């Protein structure tokens, strides 16, 4: 894959804001992360680099999508602060993180290179997980649908109420290989 496809730096001037003022450590972290991503053998997903609303750290994030349905299934982010990172599943539009191990949250300290390596491995493992859309037909031609990681059954997004009788789904569609 082309290194330029991963972790593009957002342009705040598009939104009428001041340009980012990244530190040397932040620029080195992004460069190291992008260099590792250049060798990934995973399906592409949107990814960006910027700052959270409070501008407290460098923010690097990816989004898993069901492109056919134009639906974001989840976002995962790393907050880099010089010698440490916090990483996990995003909980809201401000890129706060679910701080539980069940949601993949972790903290790490180390050099820029060590942190970029750990975060690159973490992002790659997320992007390598297969995602399926599971559908149950309901009355009136509607469907209950949820998207899950196929390897664990962890539900990412749900729409509609699942049948109370516990009936198996009618369809399983691969969303991400």
pLDDT tens, residue by residue, 88-125:
999 999 999 999 888 889 999 999 999 999 999 999 99
Lowest mean pLDDT among 58-62, 67-71, 136-140: 136-140
Beta strand extents in the chain (DSSP E only): 8-9, 47-50, 58-66, 71-80, 84-89, 106-109, 131-137, 143-149, 155-159, 171-176
Closest among 38, 42, 176 to 116, alpha carbons compared: 38
The pTM assigned to this predicted structure is 0.90
Q: Most distant CA pair in the chain: distance in Å?
A: 58
User: How many CB atoms are closer than 10 A to CB 3?
Assistant: 14
Closest among 10, 49, 18 to 32, alpha carbons compared: 49
What is the number of alpha carbons within 13 Å of residue 101 lying toward its C-beta?
0
- Please check the confidence at residue 162 and state whether its pLDDT lies above 90: no
In which band, very low, low, confident or very high, does the pLDDT at 1 lie, cut at 50, 70 and 90? Answer: very low
162 and 155 Cβ atoms separated by less than 8 Å: no
Closest among 46, 73, 44 to 145, alpha carbons compared: 73
> Helix or strand or coil: residue 16?
coil
Residues linked to residue 146 through DSSP beta bridges, in sequence order: 134, 158
Closest among 28, 39, 50, 172 to 110, alpha carbons compared: 28
30 and 9 Cβ atoms separated by less than 8 Å: yes
47 and 59 Cβ atoms separated by less than 8 Å: no
- Please check the confidence at residue 169 and state whether its pLDDT lies above 60: yes
| Average pLDDT taken over every residue of the chain | 92
pLDDT of residue 55: 85
pLDDT tens for 14-54 read: 877 778 889 999 999 999 999 999 999 999 999 999 998 88
Question: Angle formed by the axes of helices 24-37 and 112-127, to 10°?
Answer: 40
């Amino acid at each position: 894959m082309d290194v330029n496809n991963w972790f593009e730096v957002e342009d705040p001037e598009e939104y009428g804001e001041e340009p980012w003022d990244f530190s040397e450590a932040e620029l080195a972290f992004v460069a190291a992360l992008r260099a590792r991503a250049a060798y990934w053998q995973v399906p592409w997903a949107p990814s960006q680099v910027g700052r959270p609303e409070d501008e407290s750290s460098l923010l690097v994030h990816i989004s898993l999508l069901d492109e056919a349905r134009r639906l974001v299934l989840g976002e995962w982010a790393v907050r880099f602060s010089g010698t440490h990172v916090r990483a996990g599943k995003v909980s809201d539009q401000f890129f706060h993180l679910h701080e539980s191990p069940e949601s993949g949250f972790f903290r790490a300290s180390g050099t820029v290179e060590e942190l970029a390596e750990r975060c690159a491995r973490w992002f790659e493992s997320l992007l390598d997980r297969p995602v399926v859309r599971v559908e149950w037909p309901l009355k009136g031609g509607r469907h209950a649908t949820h998207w899950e990681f196929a390897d664990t059954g962890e539900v990412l997004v749900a729409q509609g109420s699942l049948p109370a009788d516990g009936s198996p789904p009618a369809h399983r569609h691969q969303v991400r290989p």
